[in-house]
Amino acid sequence: MFLYVKPFLALARLISMDVRTGREGMEDRDEYASAAIRGDEEALLRRIDMDKRQLYGIAFAYMRNEEDAIEAIQETVCRVWAKRRTLREAKYFTTWTIRILIRVCMDEKKKRKREQQQSTIDASRMQRTVEANDEEEDAAARLDMAAQVQALPANYRMVVVLKYYRDRTIMEIAELLEKPDGTIRTWLNKALKLLRSDMTKTEEVEAYVRGIGKREAAGRGDAAD
């Protein structure tokens, strides 16, 4: 992070106003670089100003848009100021600054890649969690319905099991139980009304029980009647 606020803000204004049309000064580049290394803030800004078109071109090539390129340059200036005393020779100021800029851009791209990967991982985890919750809710619903079926009177329970868990027709159930079709239909309707609970339509209960019955049967395989 940039140690001094004043040069950072000044350079931010400088870059934002004229980053693509920077002027080449006639001043002694090495002299400004030497002064910057010694801690002269104004000299640093003037020296960076001489290279800003080149810096912007490099930053834009990496970041692919103006806003990100300018932010990369600003971060580069922060690091240049913080590390200025590590530069041994002023004549290498531009090369040194460019090297720092490239590292800034690469660090930012790596950071964004990690964030994107983490976002993908988080989304995958969330999806698995949702699916697991759905499975748990479905299992709980099946257990709850099974318990309600078990609580039915024996004749009602038998009709429901044969109809929805064994996929028998009314006529087949009537033959198995040796009862008239009308009796089987009556028992089935009363069973569904008892199972209705909070549902508002018998058809909803019927569809629900049928779906659970088929899943139960698929899980067990074809069992003998």
The pTM score is 0.49
**pLDDT bucket at 216, cuts 50 / 70 / 90:** low
Cβ–Cβ under 8 Å, residues 52 and 22: yes
Cα end-to-end distance, the chain, whole Å: 76
213: tokens are 């019955």
Tell me how far apart the alpha carbons of residues 128 and 206 are, in angstroms, rounded to a whole number.
30
For residue 114, pLDDT beyond 80:
yes
Please write the tens of the pLDDT for every residue from 5-48: 444 544 554 554 444 444 444 457 899 999 999 999 999 989 99
SS3 152: coil
Residue 208 CB partners (closer than 8 Å, separation 6+): 145, 199
SS3 55: helix
55-64, 98-107, 210-219: lowest mean pLDDT where?
A: 210-219
Cβ–Cβ under 8 Å, residues 176 and 162: yes
Please write the tens of the pLDDT for every residue from 137-167: 666 666 666 777 777 888 888 888 888 777 8
Task: Quote the pLDDT of residue 173.
Answer: 85
Q: What is the mean pLDDT of the chain?
A: 76
Task: Quote the pLDDT of residue 68.
Answer: 92
DSSP state of 23: P
Q: Which residue has the higher pLDDT, 81 or 132?
A: 81
Task: Quote the pLDDT of residue 43.
Answer: 92
Task: Quote the pLDDT of residue 194.
Answer: 82
For residue 103, pLDDT beyond 70:
yes
32-36, 105-109, 126-130, 219-223: lowest mean pLDDT where?
A: 219-223
- Which sign does the torsion angle of CA 208, 211, 216, 222 carry? positive
Among residues 133, 132, 181, 136, which one has the least CA distance to residue 159? 181
